Amino acid sequence: MSREHAIAQAAAHFDSGHFQRRLQALVACPTECQEPDRAGVLLDYLHAHLGPLLRELGFDWQVLDNPVAGAPPLMVARRQEPDAAFTVLAYGHGDVVRGHEGKWRGGRSPWTLDVEGDRWYGRGAADNKGQHAINLAALGETIQARGGRLGYDVTWVFEMGEEIGSPGLDTFCARHADLLRADLFLASDGPRLGATKPTVFLGARGGCNFDLSLDLREGAHHSGNWGGLLRNPAWRLAHALASLVDANGRILVPGLLPNELPANVRAALRDVRVASDAGDPEIDPGWGEPGLSPAEQVFGWNTLEILAFTAGTPESPVNAIPGQARAHCQIRYVVGSDPDHFLAHIRAHLDAHGYTDVALAQSGEMFRATRLDPDNPWVELVLQSLARTTGRPATLLPNLGGSLPNDVFAETLGLPTVWVPHSYPACSQHAPNEHLLGSVAREALQIMAGLYWDLGERGGAIARALRDRPRAIAPGP
């Protein structure tokens, strides 16, 4: 059979309704990893749903304990062929955020795949059940079209705790590095740049969350009696925050910025246009680092945002000067930054500007920034494959604007990482009315079938060439 047959079969898999029925079964599992009483459901998703599907495709699989006590289990599945030229490591997560029952439009249940025109509503339809279901279905059609032989091995790792920060994933992969040994990491998560724009991204921006707080006194005091006599922590903290970022969104602390915007990253982003779908917010011109395009701001540079800022009781204000103020902030950063010293840079800056009374503390785990070199030959193969299948060039993003546990695969396992997302920015991910676009799903099935075919044709030569020289992965920060 041919590449064209594999792609046609992938489209037929969608048109027959088979893909919709399979996704319905996955969405029906309320795999809310934040809820302790869902532990049995998380395990059932692996054993009763993914296990049989993987076995149909020739995988041997096992569910293994998480190195973090009480954290959700992980699954490793391997499909091996005699004389395979190389190995692809794939990834997916079967957990979802809370379903938000009762808040979906039209009384929809988050656990029912409800198709309305091009929109397929359901929790996990876009993040991430629909995406790994697409890849598994396309892989199956490619295996069949190639007469049962891909020419390479495939290993899958599935986790069930991505929505709570992937606890244990890094330790798990380090512990099972031999089991997960591969030449290429290829997975799907996150959004395309736009619904009609097939996209490839090569890593993710890192994330560092921190809190600034100022506790001046117990309780609040009447503003008429004490106004002008007591320092207001909200004003003080507002000025401290304003010393970090100017009125136009430019970061004023040099230690929070990347070293540079590499030439090949700038070239990859030259023709990228951000926010092109209906419902996307309008971009504010002149916001952020001067001289950068919107795409360079999001995918090539660092940002510092205030995510929450409180003082007093905003829901019911009273005539009193508050005693405390707090701000929850976040740095999104790219490769070439100095995240291990972000807090030290902020502390030094605040002290130098007289804000020694403002407390600073990291909040939660830090996501590391990663980016595969855009000139890596795996990238060329993937871009050419997508263009051949769709008849139009794919958008290349050096890294996702958000954060994913890509550092586990790029740094801990040392793999070149390529992501081909199947969602789009307005999918309502993490909110009520999450949905997958049927048109994108159908095209994605074809894209992945073509890509799995092309890996069998050309991947062996690339893997051999890269084994003879150091892998071209941009180092983490």
The answer to whether position 56 is within a domain reads: yes
* Mean pLDDT (the chain, rounded): 95
Overall average pLDDT of the 41-58 stretch? 98
Residue 31 has pLDDT above 70, yes or no: yes
Residue 377 has pLDDT above 70, yes or no: yes
Single-letter amino acid, residue 263: A
The answer to whether position 77 is within a domain reads: yes
Residue 457 has pLDDT above 90, yes or no: yes
The answer to whether position 271 is within a domain reads: no
The answer to whether position 280 is within a domain reads: no
User: Does residue 250 sit in the same domain as residue 212?
Assistant: yes
Cβ count within 10 A of residue 449: 30
The predicted pLDDT at position 86 comes to: 98
The predicted pLDDT at position 477 comes to: 40
Provide the 3-class DSSP secondary structure of residue 418.
strand
User: Does residue 216 sit in the same domain as residue 354?
Assistant: yes
Which of 345, 362, 379 terminates a domain? The answer is 362
pLDDT in tens, 288-311: 999 999 999 999 999 999 999 999
The answer to whether position 289 is within a domain reads: no
The predicted pLDDT at position 474 comes to: 46
- Enumerate the β-bridge partners of residue 397: 201
CATH number at residue 378: 3.40.630.10
Under 8 Å between Cβ of 443 and 423: no
User: Does residue 55 sit in the same domain as residue 199?
Assistant: yes
User: Does residue 307 sit in the same domain as residue 237?
Assistant: yes
pLDDT in tens, 156-183: 999 999 999 999 999 999 999 999 999 9
CATH number at residue 306: 3.30.70.360
User: Does residue 332 sit in the same domain as residue 183?
Assistant: no
User: Does residue 439 sit in the same domain as residue 355?
Assistant: no
Residue 451 has pLDDT above 90, yes or no: yes
The answer to whether position 434 is within a domain reads: yes
pTM of the prediction? 0.90
The answer to whether position 272 is within a domain reads: no
The predicted pLDDT at position 473 comes to: 45
The predicted pLDDT at position 367 comes to: 86
User: Does residue 175 sit in the same domain as residue 233?
Assistant: no
User: Does residue 85 sit in the same domain as residue 110?
Assistant: yes
Tokens 């001046």 label which residue?
Answer: 216
Rounded to whole angstroms, how far apart are CA atoms 29 and 112?
A: 9
Please provide residue 106's backbone torsions phi and psi, each rounded to the nearest 5 degrees.
70, 20
The predicted pLDDT at position 113 comes to: 98
Residue 382 has pLDDT above 50, yes or no: yes
Cβ count within 10 A of residue 426: 15
Which of 294, 329, 362 terminates a domain? The answer is 362
User: Does residue 200 sit in the same domain as residue 64?
Assistant: yes
The answer to whether position 179 is within a domain reads: yes
Residue 472 has pLDDT above 80, yes or no: no
pLDDT in tens, 332-372: 999 999 999 999 999 999 999 999 999 999 998 888 999 99
pLDDT in tens, 211-260: 999 999 999 999 999 999 999 999 999 999 999 999 999 999 999 999 99
3-state helix, strand, coil in the chain (%, to 5): 35, 20, 45
Residue 471 has pLDDT above 70, yes or no: no
Which range of residues forms the domain containing residue 162? 3-204+369-474
User: Does residue 146 sit in the same domain as residue 230?
Assistant: no
Under 8 Å between Cβ of 142 and 154: no
Under 8 Å between Cβ of 19 and 441: yes
Number of domains in the chain: 2
User: pLDDT grade, residue 278 (50/70/90)?
Assistant: confident
User: Does residue 141 sit in the same domain as residue 238?
Assistant: no
The predicted pLDDT at position 469 comes to: 76
The predicted pLDDT at position 403 comes to: 83
User: Does residue 330 sit in the same domain as residue 181?
Assistant: no
Judging by beta carbons within 10 Å of its beta carbon (0-12, 13-18, 19+), is residue 117 exposed, middle or buried?
exposed
pLDDT in tens, 9-19: 999 999 999 99
User: pLDDT grade, residue 276 (50/70/90)?
Assistant: low
Which of 335, 362, 389 terminates a domain? The answer is 362
